[in-house]
Structure 1
Amino acid sequence: MEGRNLAWPGCFNVRDLGGLATTDGNRTRMKAVVRADAPDKLTEQGWAALRAYGIRTIVDLRNPAERDKMPDLDDIDVVNVPMDPVDDVEFWTEWGNGLHGTALYFQPYLERCPHLPWAVLRAVTHARPGGVLINCAAGRDRTGLVALLLLALAGVPGEVIADDYEASFPRLSVMAQTLGIEDYEPLTKAMVAQRGTTTRALVLETVRSLDFTRYVSPDDLLVLRDRLVGAD
């Protein structure tokens, strides 16, 4: 993971999706896509680091009520693509109460709401030249699911994708300690264990079950893979 982890003041869970070997012998590009927690928490120095890293588009996965005001970003496109189907009462009745903060909900979500990751991947595909930042609130689950899709589309092995997802856990514990808020990581692990499984197993099963045609068009897939894989 060294070299992929980014220290941007104000955020706690930022890392590049580049530098990972693919099954066809290539490697994901550095500075193409970065995953993060909420960028509206960045300090002035954090925004300077983001710009210096080459980020030119932010794809924000949060719902409007979750977002704080961004600074003026004339040089950066901000695309809001909410991932949570807030009006789907049936879905939240089953997957609310914290379960949506675990990998338990990944496969049910993808089965029920393929149009939402489709919209996100299309936003990444058609972002202007430069780096793309994808974020939610903590940068773990909504962002983690999009990162899973992107890395799987790029041909990164499932075990490596699971490593990337699990890398958020210690960072979010540090965030909780730093901000003096509740650390939800032990709770989420307990919820997964109560279902008789592990986060890694859930991520691996999600990768194995993916049907890419549900999340990206054939034409976009070629563009997206070119964006994700190859020389930096």
Structure 2
Amino acid sequence: MTNGATNLAQDTKVDAVAELRDLDWPACLNARDLGGLPTAGGGRIREQALIRSDRLSRLTDDGVEAVRQLRPSRIVDLRTAAQCEREPSPFAAADMYCHVPLSIPIDPPNRQARLVDRYRSKLGLYSHRFVQAVAAVADAPPGPVVVHCQAGKDRTGLVIALILKAVGVPDDAVAVDYAASAARLGAYYTAKRADIKDVELLELVRELHSARADTMASTLSYLRDEFGGGQSYLRRGGLVGRQLEALRSRLVVRSQPSSTRARA
């Protein structure tokens, strides 16, 4: 299969997965249910257990009501304090709201040109923050959990990838889910780039706005090479066995053996 055919097949797969799990939360652009993704041993992620999204401050009144109808037990907001102040979450006063910023003002700027290098740097430098975010999901009361940042692509993408790897979702499925953000955010990012005239800056911003499966695949390879995988990364950062088991219990639906289904 040629590279063009491979990319076309991948894009088709991404679009199909994203369409099946897309959530109608007016006016969020990038909200979807992770339910249905496969896990090791023939299981799958439970529907309405883990939701990823862009900022909930976008929501219309109908959108807020749609989230309330889901009855989430926890909403994990990964945005900076400044972003939360500029665009407050409509759920900020609720007990279910949990703010876990992945960036703070004293962090040095990251000017690397490739998005994957920025991901690797952030994972390498701030494992304790990623573990805190994953722990907020693991320790949540029973019920759906929503994880979001500003666009629902980068910070959310990394936290969701760590959670999915911790419960046995294969790399290709994690990468396909990550890449689904490209279609959801395409028009929004195109509009944001419309006034950029500098060619080099435009190229950089286009890279930072991207959501390619190969970017996530390379990030997962980094986690394996440097830390022994996503689960080992989380353990080294302080996540304990009880929390890993809690993630599996709340997220994974085990498939019945074929003999059991036949008897039923």
CA shift, 1:32, in A, is: 0.8
CA shift, 1:228, in A, is: 1.3
CA shift, 1:162, in A, is: 0.5
CA shift, 1:105, in A, is: 2.0
Q: Is the 8 A contact 1:98 1:188 kept in 2?
A: no
2:66 partner amino acid: A
Shift of the 186–150 alpha-carbon distance from structure 1 to 2, 3 Å rule, reads farther
Shift of the 98–138 alpha-carbon distance from structure 1 to 2, 3 Å rule, reads farther
Q: Is the 8 A contact 2:172 2:217 kept in 1?
A: no
Runs of 5+ in structure 2 lacking a partner? 1-16, 197-201, 255-264
Shift of the 32–192 alpha-carbon distance from structure 1 to 2, 3 Å rule, reads closer
CA shift, 1:108, in A, is: 2.3
CA shift, 1:14, in A, is: 0.7
Shift of the 24–72 alpha-carbon distance from structure 1 to 2, 3 Å rule, reads closer
In the alignment, structure 1 residue 21 sits paired with structure 2 residue 38: yes
75, 78, 95: which is aligned to 2:97? 78
Shift of the 96–6 alpha-carbon distance from structure 1 to 2, 3 Å rule, reads same
Matches within 5 A, 1:135-146: 135-146=148-159
Shift of the 200–143 alpha-carbon distance from structure 1 to 2, 3 Å rule, reads closer
In the alignment, structure 1 residue 156 sits paired with structure 2 residue 169: yes
128, 136, 142: which is aligned to 1:115? 128
CA shift, 1:208, in A, is: 3.2
For residues 216 and 66 of structure 2, the distance between their equivalents in structure 1, rounded to whole angstroms, comes to 31
Q: Is the 8 A contact 1:37 1:138 kept in 2?
A: yes
Correspondence for 1:125: 138
For residues 209 and 67 of structure 2, the distance between their equivalents in structure 1, rounded to whole angstroms, comes to 34
For residues 149 and 200 of structure 1, the distance between their equivalents in structure 2, rounded to whole angstroms, comes to 11
Shift of the 106–70 alpha-carbon distance from structure 1 to 2, 3 Å rule, reads closer
CA shift, 1:6, in A, is: 0.8
Shift of the 111–6 alpha-carbon distance from structure 1 to 2, 3 Å rule, reads same
Q: What is the CA RMSD across the aligned residues, in angstroms?
A: 2.8
For residues 73 and 81 of structure 1, the distance between their equivalents in structure 2, rounded to whole angstroms, comes to 12
- After superposition, what is the alpha-carbon deviation per residue over 1:147-198, rounded to whole angstroms, capped at 9, x for unaligned? 1001101101001101011110121113345xx43379974564799xxxx4
5, 10, 13: which is aligned to 2:27? 10
47, 63, 75: which is aligned to 1:30? 47
Q: Could you say which structure has the higher helix fraction? A: 2
CA shift, 1:75, in A, is: 5.8
1:121 is paired with a residue of what secondary structure? helix
For residues 162 and 55 of structure 1, the distance between their equivalents in structure 2, rounded to whole angstroms, comes to 25
Instruction: Name the count of aligned residue pairs.
Output: 220
1:55 is paired with a residue of what secondary structure? coil
Q: Is the 8 A contact 1:55 1:76 kept in 2?
A: no
CA shift, 1:128, in A, is: 1.8
**More off after superposition, 198-207 vs 22-31:** 198-207
Runs of 5+ in structure 1 lacking a partner? none
Shift of the 10–69 alpha-carbon distance from structure 1 to 2, 3 Å rule, reads same
Q: Is the 8 A contact 2:26 2:59 kept in 1?
A: yes
For residues 146 and 66 of structure 1, the distance between their equivalents in structure 2, rounded to whole angstroms, comes to 18
Correspondence for 2:80: 63
**More off after superposition, 1-10 vs 115-124:** 1-10
For residues 4 and 173 of structure 1, the distance between their equivalents in structure 2, rounded to whole angstroms, comes to 18
In the alignment, structure 1 residue 205 sits paired with structure 2 residue 221: yes
Q: Is the 8 A contact 2:50 2:144 kept in 1?
A: yes
